[in-house]
Structure 1
Amino acid sequence: MRLEEIQVALEAAADISNHHEFVIAGSLSVLGYVDPPPEMMSMSIDIDFYPLRDPGRALEISTALGEDSDFHERNGYYLDPIHPELPVLPQGWRERLVEVRLGKVTAYFLNVNDTAISKYARSADHDFRWLEAGYDAGILRIDMIEASARFTVDYPEEKDKKKIIAGIALHRAAMKPDGKLAKELLAFLHHAKPEEIVSADIDDTIYSGKIIWTGEQRAVQRMDNGTLVIHATEAWTTMPELSQYHHIRYTDGEMTLE
């Protein structure tokens, strides 16, 4: 999807509703940040939207321009109505909307880092693909996303917070210093589906458990309580053995392997 396609859909919505300002959320909010975006972030054909001044009209508009409509058949994409209170979003998201003028309409795109929170909340495979493309392209900011997730989201239930924090921890564990993701480690973590991931504290800690993955500059250890610990190994002179139980001790940043 491209901005010009968003414009076509919203101008059609304006003709029907006489509204000329619309909020765009979901995957295609990335178009408010960059056009063209990474392909994996803009593959969606449904445009999550609502009229800025009258959110209740979104359903009416989608009757003519939504899924399986003539508009959908002609263009290959469609408007998908949402309500502003529906997504799990951090406080202040309205103030961070990105305004883009498109012909006779104005689109207000959800900030991509706010969109990321809702992606983690849902955690479907395609949500993770969107997030990972955003990190690799340098579009998403994991520190900002994590701070929002921990301190500025009103969660419906505690399990929603745990899901989001776990997803962020997965990506942080696989993130290289340049912000890109270590693909092999990322694939392993997705397959393992851990409930909790932590990065090793190198001040004064001992970790005991089996080494379940090793790769370039990383080792993954499963603790006795099931937690996965990610060790940065680039400075290690001795590597732990895969599938063996190890005690890994840190003292003032120095590692001892037992």
Structure 2
Amino acid sequence: MNRTQLAHVLRSASRIAGDSDVLVVGSQAILGVRDEDELPAEATASMEADIAFMHDADRAKADEVEGGIGEFSSFHEEFGYYAEGIHIDTVVLPQGWAERLVRPNLAGAEPAEAAFLEPHDLVATKLAAGRLKDLAFARALVDVGLVDLDVLLERIYAMPAGVHQSVIDRMIGWVAAIKDANG
């Protein structure tokens, strides 16, 4: 996905939900801080944008987005990319994430006033999920210098208390292995 496609998704999600306060929480959040031509292929490979709303207690907005422009929708069929409407509570985020949101003025996203996870917070959520594609995404951002491992460790230690210690240990182990590999 590129920034133009993401702007289209954000514009559509905002209109469907009737809410301009749109949050990008998946891998495409990296497009909030960098153009696609400045990113490794692993960072823009997904054709899905994980979209949440800051005020969606009953998940109705996420469901509307999912139904309107989600996977297998006519939007997806026509454009080849789509949104996954998610509830913010389903994302495991380090404490303080909301204060670090990135709010660029993404051209063409209006009426959406999009916010994006800061790269270290984004990578922490990916490491918590621990899927192979998430680890490849995280490694690619580290390799191009968009994520500092020491800052990432701070974010790992700031994960919410509900995150199982084995997940935290796995995340710390991943960072240690990258540090060892980089000498």
TM-score normalised per structure 1: 0.64
Question: What is the distance in 2 between the residues matched to 1:51 and 1:87?
Answer: 12
| Count of aligned positions | 175
Instruction: Say if 1:89 and 1:118, in contact at 8 Å, map to a contact too.
Output: yes
2:114 corresponds to: 107
The equivalent residue for 1:134 is 141
- Aligned residue identity for 1:119: K
Unaligned runs of 5+ in 2: none
Q: What residue number does 1:13 align with?
A: 13
Residues 14 and 148 (structure 1 numbering): CA distance in 2 closer, same or farther, change over 3 Å? closer
Q: Determine if contact 1:32/1:98 at 8 Å carries over to the other structure.
A: yes
CA distance in 1, matches of 2:18, 2:73: 20
Find the aligned partners of 1:163 and 1:53 in 2 and give their Cα distance: 32
Pick from 42, 45, 51 the counterpart of residue 43 of structure 1: 45
Q: Where has structure 1 moved over 6 Å in runs of 4 or more?
A: none
Question: Aligned partners of 1:161, 1:136: CA distance in 2, in Å?
Answer: 22
Q: What are the within-5 Å matches in structure 2 for residues 1-258 of structure 1? A: 1-36=1-36, 37-54=39-56, 56=59, 57-102=61-106, 103=108, 104=110, 105-150=112-157, 152-154=158-160, 155-176=162-183
User: In 1, Cα distance between the equivalents of 2:27 and 2:176?
Assistant: 21
For the residue of structure 2 that corresponds to 1:85, the secondary structure is helix
Task: Give the aligned residue type for 2:28.
Answer: L
Q: By how many angstroms is 1:100 displaced?
A: 2.1
- 1:40-79 CA-partner distances (Å, limit 9, x unpaired): 1111111011123336211122101000000000111111
Residue type at the aligned position of 1:40: E
Letter in 1 for 2:75: F
Letter in 1 for 2:76: H
> Which protein is richer in helix relative to its size?
2
Secondary structure of residue in 2 paired with 1:100: coil
Write out per-residue CA displacement over residues 105-124 of structure 1, whole angstroms, 9 at most, x where no aligned residue: 22100011001111111222
TM-score by length of 2: 0.89
- Rg (Cα) greater in structure: 1
Per chain length, whose mean CA-contact separation is higher, i.e. which structure has more relative contact order (CA < 8 Å, sep 6+)? 2
Which secondary structure state, in structure 2, belongs to the residue aligned with residue 99 of structure 1?
coil
CA apart distance, 1:160: 1.5
Conserved 8 A contact 1:50-1:81: yes
Q: Secondary structure at the match of 1:98?
A: coil
Measure, in 1, the Cα distance between the counterparts of 2:28 and 2:10: 13
SS of the aligned residue for 1:106 comes to coil
Asked if structure 2 preserves the Cα contact closer than 8 Å seen for 1:59 and 1:81, the reply is yes
